[in-house]
Structure 1
Amino acid sequence: MAGAVQATDVAVVGLFPGKAVLVIDGGRPATLAVGRSTKSGVKVVSVQGEQVVVEINGTRETLRLGQRVVKSAASTEAPTVNLTADSRGHFLAAGSINGAPMRFLVDTGASMVALGRADAERARIDYLKHGRPSVSQTANGMVRTWVVKLAEVNLAGVTLHQVDAAIHDSDLPVALLGMSVLNRMEMQRSGDTLTLRKRY
């Protein structure tokens, strides 16, 4: 059954202004400028800092340097994200909130997605107007937060809508990918690889 499904394996091995170096299906590294496509149909849409937006089998993925994704052309297969642990054992992923690029840290100890004030402003979240005042427990004690609904969260091409999030009154070094997203995914860890598969 699996043999009938055509999938594209894309890894980001280099990023430069206006260009990305991709390894596709385990082949030789290919340097693609923004707007260019490979023969297999992988297109570089944009490059911003340490992130690149690529189009694979007609859908867009936001990937970080060193990240790899396998995208199936079969529409019936659940969208999947494969993450590799860093040297400290943390799983980081590129994505977006309401279209604004974000860097996520997978955190099973967080009850919901957590964003700092600056990230919330970039995603145009008016949390003071639309958020519900709350408090969250952190390593530094209790902090003031606002609970909101995120219209759209995209994680390496997997999109979720109406996601609960806590906006912190201060900046965070990275957005936390908490259980309000992870509960809507199937998680499977194998060594240094974490696979997230969207539930239907």
Structure 2
Amino acid sequence: MNRWSSRFMISLSAVLPIGASAADVAVAGIFGNKAVLVVDGGPPRTLSVGQRTPEGVQLVAIDGETARVIVDGRRESVRLGERVVRRAAVEGNSEIYLDGDSQGHFFVNGQVNNGPIRFLVDTGASVVSIGRSDARRLGIDLTKAEVGSTQTAAGLRKVWRVRLDSVRVGTLVLNDVEASVLENDLPLALLGMSFLSRMEMAREGSRLVLRKRY
């Protein structure tokens, strides 16, 4: 195996339909500063950072196993091994499709108060939960928050109860979402039931479908 093929990582399942009028973009591989993109199911195209496909999809950066692209003027991140499908649903509602990992966990990039964050979907969490350093980065004000405590594996920890102006996951956006900020940092924010209870959730094989209810 040569040095290029040994670094080549294949994942045809990382597909990101960007919208009804935009392209479906899949990352088929990443090696060095190049990525193999498949647009609208067409032939694989190898791009260096800065190059565009004939359909106008531009590769702007590679960060580990994530390709950052611009589609229809919007910057999107597409990870190897992760599939996020965004479609316009009936009657103007929205839905997204998430592919689970080998252990059945669902991860998704999102936004809190317009700042980027990565979520683990957690139906066992009563509210959206964020670590303190993420809360600071996102500009969440804790000075007037209600203070409580929660039991963790590391013992009793302080927790602040807050309301988030907005939480976005794909095309799904909710305002005024109840959340908790933990005293300790979290490796991932938890997308808990204060968000999920306002969705219809369904399983389609290994995929999780979230549809906005209200």
Among 33, 36, 39, which residue is 1:24 paired with?
Answer: 39
> Quick check: 1:8–1:72 contact (8 Å CA) kept in 2?
no
SS in 1 for 2:135: helix
What's the TM-score, normalizing by structure 1? 0.75
Q: Find the partner of 1:99 among 111, 114, 120.
A: 114
The CA distance in 1 between the partners of 2:109 and 2:128, in whole Å, is 14
Match of 1:64 among 75, 79, 82: 79
Q: Does 1:11 align with 2:26?
A: yes
Classify the secondary structure of the residue corresponding to 2:185: coil
Q: Does 1:144 align with 2:158?
A: yes
TM-score for both structures, normalised by structure 2: 0.71
Q: Which has the larger radius of gyration?
A: 2
* Percent of residue pairs bearing the same amino acid type: 50
The partner residue of 1:154 within 164, 168, 177 is: 168
Where structure 1 has 5 or more consecutive residues not aligned to the other structure, the ranges are none
**Equivalence for 2:102:** 87
* Alignment equivalent of 2:193, drawn from 174, 179, 182: 179
Question: Which is bigger in relative contact order (C-alpha 8 A, separation at least 6)?
Answer: 1
Residues in 2 aligned to 1:76 and 1:34: alpha-carbon distance in whole angstroms: 39
Equivalent residues in 2 for 1:112-127 (5 A)? 112-127=127-142
How many residues are paired up?
195
**For 1:164-199, what per-residue CA distance to the aligned partner results, in whole angstroms no more than 9, with x for missing partners?**
111001111111110011111111112221111222
Cα RMSD, aligned residues only: 3.3
The one-letter amino acid of 2:101's match is D
State the Cα distance separating 1:107 from its structure 2 match: 0.5
Q: Aligned pair in 2 of structure 1 residues 38, 196: CA closer, same or farther (>3 Å)? A: farther
Q: 1:82 to 1:73 in 2, by over 3 A?
A: closer
Counterpart Cα distance in 2 of 1:26 and 1:89: 27
